Chain A
Amino acid sequence: EPEVTQTPSHQVTQMGQEVILRCVPISNHLYFYWYRQILGQKVEFLVSFYNNEISEKSEIFDDQFSVERPDGSNFTLKIRSTKLEDSAMYFCASWGQGKVDYTFGSGTRLTVV
Chain B
Amino acid sequence: DAKTTQPNSMESNEEEPVHLPCNHSTISGTDYIHWYRQLPSQGPEYVIHGLTSNVNNRMASLAIAEDRKSSTLILHRATLRDAAVYYCIPRGGGSNYKLTFGKGTLLTVNP
Contacts and interface: CB of A to CB of B under 8 A. Distances in A.
A104 interface: yes
Q: Please classify the interface of chain A as helix (H, G, I), strand (E, B), loop, or mixed, using the class held by over half of its residues.
A: strand
Given A42-B102, A43-B101, A101 B46 contact: yes
Given A42-B101, A44-B101, A55 B49 contact: no
Interface bracket on A: 20 to 34
A56 interface: yes
A102 B98 CA distance: 10
Contacts of B10: none
A52 to B, nearest CB: 14
Interface in A35-61: 35, 42-45, 48, 50, 55-56
Contacts of B41: 106-107
A44 B101 CA distance: 7
A-B pairs with lowest CB-CB distance, top 5: A104-B43, A101-B46, A43-B101, A45-B98, A91-B43
Given A43-B87, A104-B43, 6 more contacts: A43-B44, A45-B100, A48-B96, A100-B46, A101-B34, A107-B41
17 contacts: A31-B95, A33-B98, A35-B99, A42-B101, A42-B102, A43-B87, A43-B99, A55-B96, A56-B96, A56-B98, A91-B44, A97-B95, A103-B46, A104-B44, A104-B45, A106-B42, A106-B43
